[in-house]
Amino acid sequence: MDLLNPSLFLSLILACFWTLPIFAADTAAGEQKAAICSSCHGPQGKSSNPQWPNLAAQQSLYIINQLKAFKSGDRQNTLMQPLAANLSEEDINNLAAYFSSQQAAKAGGDPTLAKSGQAKAAMCMGCHGSSSEGNGLFPRLAGQHPEYLEQQLKNYKQGSRNGGPMQAIAASLSEEDMKALAAYFGSL
Ligand code: HEC
Ligand code: HEC
């Protein structure tokens, strides 16, 4: 590809201008749109149903990526797919800006299980962050509902959820490991 080609250069410049408004996320608009999410994900993204994930303080890029995956069918869930299908790219960016700026929830986890999970968690921190707060496309795990985390690890292992590196990682975990790790991260 010749980057000095003038028409390519021009279209790159135009592409930058056209995408600018989409990336200027509007947290207030996201908060308004989030009213339809709160029946499951709770007020400010703090869910009281352990099978429904907290969205509060989740990484913005990760939220965007997952909503797009539900929309395209790359991530399958009967509740989320029809909802994501109705969101525009702007909605998705605004919702991500809103939820990522909320204070983190703390689900808690069984203390004995959490202790054994802590011993196995070091290998997870390299990607999920030293406090499991997440980073970009790597989701926050800290304070997430243990039931939800355990189910997702099982989904990766069974192959019903695609997750890049998570597939191989989950494949190496026993059901006991998953329970313990989920309790540990939930308790942070
Ligand atoms: C009817 C209940 C329901 C509603 C309403 C709902 N969700 Fe969900 N959401 C779920 C469930 C259940 C999951 C977990 C899906 C799974 O197990 O893969 C989920 C997962 C997610 C995830 C992935 C979280 C993660 O940690 O991977 C995001 C992001 C999300 N929802 C955003 C939203 C947004 C934004 C709205 C509002 C536009 C919304 N949801 C409305 C039930 C709901
Ligand atoms: C090489 C980087 C990497 C390592 C190491 C890693 N993860 Fe992940 N993890 C990811 C990525 C990337 C995703 C998002 C995948 C997707 O889009 O579904 C993810 C997603 C997850 C999810 C889904 C969270 C949600 O909100 O739905 C869980 C649970 C999880 N990881 C647990 C773990 C555990 C436990 C370990 C350690 C045993 C671990 N991860 C190690 C990269 C990693």
Rounded CA gap, 85 and 68, in Å? 9
- Say how far apart CA 153 and CA 61 lie, in whole Å: 20
pLDDT the model gives residue 169: 97
Cα–Cα distance, 87 to 3 (Å, whole number): 35
| Ligand 1 pocket member 132 (CB < 6 A) | no
Check residue 20 and give its pLDDT: 47
What's the pLDDT score for residue 88?
97
> Given pLDDT bands bounded at 50, 70 and 90, which one contains residue 19?
very low
Tell me which residue has tokens 């790159």: 12
Confidence at residue 24, expressed as pLDDT on a 0 to 100 scale = 73
| 126 Cα to the center of ligand 1, angstroms | 26
pLDDT of residue 21: 45
Model pLDDT for residues 47-65, shown as the tens digit of each residue: 999 999 999 999 999 999 9
Q: How far is the CA of 58 from the centre of ligand 2 (A)?
A: 13
Write the residue with the smallest CA distance to atom 40 of ligand 1. Answer: 37
pLDDT tens-digit profile of 159-170?
999 999 999 999
Q: What is the mean pLDDT of residues 103-110?
A: 94
pLDDT at residue 11 in the model: 53
Q: What is the CA radius of gyration of the chain?
A: 18
Ligand nearest to the CA of 134: 2
Task: Look over the chain and give the mean of its residue pLDDT values, rounded to a whole number.
Answer: 91
Query: What's the pLDDT tens digit per position in 130-172?
Result: 999 999 999 999 999 999 999 999 999 999 999 999 999 999 9
The span from the CA of 98 to the CA of 92, in Å, is 10
- CA distance linking residue 44 with residue 58, whole number of Å: 11
Structure tokens, 67: 């909503």
Going from the Cα of 52 to the center of ligand 1, the distance in angstroms, rounded, reads 7
75-88 per-position pLDDT tens digit: 999 999 999 999 99
Tell me how far apart the alpha carbons of residues 81 and 3 are, in angstroms, rounded to a whole number. 39
